[in-house]
Each structure stands twice: as C-alpha cells, then as structure tokens.
Amino acid sequence: MTKQLLIIILLFCSNIYGQNITDNIVGSSLLIQSKIMNDEREIQIFLPDGYEDSDITYPVLYILDGQRYFLHAVSLQKSFIEFKQTPEFIIVGISKKTSDRNRNFSVNSQKYLDFIKKEVIDHIDNQYRTSEKRMLFGWAFGGGFVIETMTNEPNLFDAYISASPFPLKEKINEIDNFLTENSSFNKLLFFSSGTNEGVVKDGTNELNLLLIDKAPKTMNWFFRELQGEEHRSTPFTTLYHGIKKYYNYFPELQFNSLEEFSNSGGLDYVYSYYQKRASEFGFSKDLPDWTMFTLTRNAIRANDYNQFNNFVNEFKNTEFISRLRVTRACSIAEFYLKHNEYDKAIKLFLFLAEKHPNSVRPLNGLGDTYKELKKERKASSYYKKAKKISESNSN
C-alpha cells in the first residue's frame, strides 16, 4: 500500500468517525411503584409531535406487552398522521416482566386490571392532557385479557383491539351474559386470528358466531381472519386494522373505482359519511375537494361520461374545480375535449390559463381543442404561447 493511499484511507475513516452521532430516543420510560402489584412496573410513553405546541387533549392507546409492541404502535401512529388517517394520540406501553409469564392475563387478571385502571390510567390522566377516549390492545393471552376487560369494565375503553385472543372458550358464557345484559353497548371490539392458529381460531370462530347472533345493534364489532399470518405475526396486522376501524370516519373519503363507489351506497353513503365525520370529529359536513375530485377522476378513468357529468353537476355549486391543482383541473377539461364538449373544454382551459399563467398544460389544451375544431391558426397561437412559457421556465 502506498503512503498516499494510506493517508487517504485514514482521512476517510476519521471523517466517518468524526461525524456527530446522537441517540435515537423514542418516547420516555417510567417506573411505577405499584401498590396493587406490590412491585416496580415499567411503562413507556410516547407523546404526539404536536403535543408541546398545543393545548388540546389527546386520545390514548394502551399497549399490553409494551416491551414488544410499543415501537410498532409509534411507527403506526407516525404513518397514520402523515397520511391523515387518524388524529394524533398518546401511546402508553405497559411492559410485562419475564417472571410474570401470563399470570397477569389469567389468574391475576382482576388484580392486573386494577393496576391498569387505578395506577397506570390515573397517572397518565393526571400528568398529560388526555381526552376520555381510550384504546386497549393485546395479543394472545393479552388479547384474551382485552376481551375480559371489555366484559368487566365496558366503559373503561372505547376500543378493544384483540389479536389472536386466547383462551376464549371458557369466556364464551361470560361474554354471552354480557351481551344480554348490555343491550346498548356501543364500543368497538376488533379481534382477529390467523387461518392456521388451531385452538385460537376455534375460539375466535365461536366468538364470531356468538356476536352474529347476539351482539347489540349499537355494538361496533369486527372479526378479521388474517390470511397468511401466523400466531406471532397477527398482532402487527391487527393493531393497524383495529386503529383504522376505530377512526373509520376520520380520513377524507376516497374510492378506487366507480364499482366500489356504487357498492358502498353511492352519493347517499358519501353524504352520510361526512355527516358522521362531522359529528364525531368536528369537521365540516361539506364534501372536501379531494373526495369530489377522486369521484370525478374515477369516472374519467372508467371513460364514463354520463357519470362524469353527473358528478360535475352535483358538485357544481361548490366550485371545487377552481380550487384544484392545475394538472387535476386540466384532466377534467381534457375529458370534455375527449368527448367533443368543445365549448366546456375551452371555457375551463381559458380559466386555468388565466389562473396559472406559467403553466403550459392549459395552453396546450386550448391548442388541442382548436385543432379539433379545424381552427389551425388559433391552435398554433396557443401552442406558441405554451412553447414560449416552457422555454422561459426551463431557463
């Protein structure tokens, strides 16, 4: 090795190791001296990014087996917030010691529930700005504990999310009695099992049949059989879908096709969705521009002019097209052109060209429209304007 090459390698290595490296800390940990458990217990707490800069109160997601699933819950929350699928919420992981095995979820379940209710929840509510909305998640024996908690403390949580709950068979009679005695129960129960989970699947199938037969009409419940998942993987999928189901009316509505729109109930469903969204989260009852555009876009993709025209006329008074990005609005004008609605295409392209003077797409659209009308000179003038703007933008 030459002396010069050695010097280069040493300089390269010194640059790498000289860079600032900081710890990646997610949330905080707290040790609770539990009088109920007569032991020291760890909980993990993650606050939303906007917590310090706001004065609002937040829902709380409580995670059993926090030593396993706390970080997964944080990752989900980050993704949900980025894509506007849920509001921000606090996450609390309740860790379990190895020495506990599953006693806290079975023979000591009432004691453990008292610990969660009187020491963990009370601490979180006293120390942080929490709303009265709470979710509880557990897996396996913890999933069975979630369902037992629902029957013992039905108003303690608003969502009970249970992955591969076990054991369920001896709880069925208790759940049956609970359903009979709580005819107005209106919380969410979301539970799941994999397709090859043996006795776990037997229990969830029995619970599913019981709920089909006896669940109150007010109860919000869902059973999901997870294709291709095994016992160890169900918690990750279940927590994702359970949270989404709880916040079912939070996202802006979007359909992937006209068929999906029709099967969901059409415009009646759309307006009903936004009524419920407004009632639950305080949003406006008006349809967002995104929903109106995606409905219109589905008709464009299906090349269904009649449905396209129905949507445009339905939403005309909202003037949503005027607020769309120029590319999205141009796709509507271009669909008019495709179906020989020249006057409507010209009117919209002219509006967009004036509103977006540095955009070439409306000008090219006008050129294409006048070319179809055999008005070559006028078409050429718009093409030239588009080219001039394009050259100016590139410089």
DSSP, residue by residue, 248-270: TTSSPP--SSHHHHHHHTHHHHH
For the cut 70, the answer to whether the pLDDT of residue 271 exceeds it is yes
Sequence-ordered alpha helix ranges (H) in the chain = 3-18, 66-82, 109-115, 122-127, 141-152, 172-181, 199-214, 234-246, 258-264, 266-281, 289-301, 305-314, 326-338, 342-355, 361-372, 376-394
Residue 101: pLDDT band with limits 50, 70, 90: confident
Residue 25: pLDDT band with limits 50, 70, 90: confident
Token readout for 218 is 């007010």
Instruction: Give the whole-angstrom CA distance, residue 305 versus residue 336.
Output: 9
- Can you give the pLDDT at residue 394? 81
Instruction: Give the whole-angstrom CA distance, residue 204 versus residue 165.
Output: 7
Residue showing tokens 């009649």? 306
**Region for 198 from its dihedrals, namely left if φ exceeds 0, alpha if ψ lies in -120 to 50, beta otherwise:** left
Instruction: Give the whole-angstrom CA distance, residue 154 versus residue 149.
Output: 7
- Can you give the pLDDT at residue 3? 57
How far, in Å, are 263, 329, 351, 379 from residue 354 at the CA level? 39, 13, 5, 17
Listed as own residue / partner, the contacts of 223-228 with beta carbons closer than 8 Å and 24 or more positions apart are 223/191, 223/192, 224/190, 224/191, 224/192, 225/192, 225/193, 225/194, 225/195, 225/201, 226/192, 226/193, 226/194, 226/195, 227/195, 228/194, 228/195
Residue 26: pLDDT band with limits 50, 70, 90: confident
- Can you give the pLDDT at residue 236? 98
Cβ neighbourhood burial of 27 (10 Å; 0-12, 13-18, 19+): middle
3-state secondary structure string across 279-340: HHHCCCCCCCHHHHHHHHHHHHHCCCHHHHHHHHHHCHHHCHHHHCCHHHHHHHHHHHHHCC
Residues 386/360, Cβ–Cβ less than 8 Å: yes
Question: Residue 261: CA atoms inside 13 Å, Cβ hemisphere, count?
Answer: 21
Stated length of the chain = 395
Q: Residue 143's closest CA among 46, 58, 231?
A: 231
For the cut 90, the answer to whether the pLDDT of residue 81 exceeds it is yes
Instruction: Give the whole-angstrom CA distance, residue 232 versus residue 241.
Output: 16
**Cβ neighbours of 270 (radius 10 Å):** 19
For the cut 60, the answer to whether the pLDDT of residue 44 exceeds it is yes
Instruction: Give the whole-angstrom CA distance, residue 241 versus residue 243.
Output: 6
Residue 27: pLDDT band with limits 50, 70, 90: confident
Give per-residue pLDDT as tens, 133-152: 999 999 999 999 999 999 99
SS3 51: coil
Give per-residue pLDDT as tens, 220-235: 999 999 999 999 999 9
Instruction: Give the whole-angstrom CA distance, residue 165 versus residue 145.
Output: 8
- Can you give the pLDDT at residue 10? 55
Predicted TM-score (pTM) of this structure: 0.87
Give per-residue pLDDT as tens, 355-368: 999 999 999 999 99
For the cut 80, the answer to whether the pLDDT of residue 15 exceeds it is no
Residue 8: pLDDT band with limits 50, 70, 90: low
- Can you give the pLDDT at residue 99? 81
Helix 141-152 with 172-181: angle, nearest 10 deg: 30
For the cut 60, the answer to whether the pLDDT of residue 12 exceeds it is no
Instruction: Give the whole-angstrom CA distance, residue 221 versus residue 191.
Output: 8
Residue showing tokens 């068929």? 259
Instruction: Give the whole-angstrom CA distance, residue 40 versus residue 61.
Output: 22
Helix 172-181 with 199-214: angle, nearest 10 deg: 20
Token readout for 15 is 């640059």
The residues, ordered by sequence, that sit 6+ positions from 107 with a Cβ below 8 Å of its Cβ are none
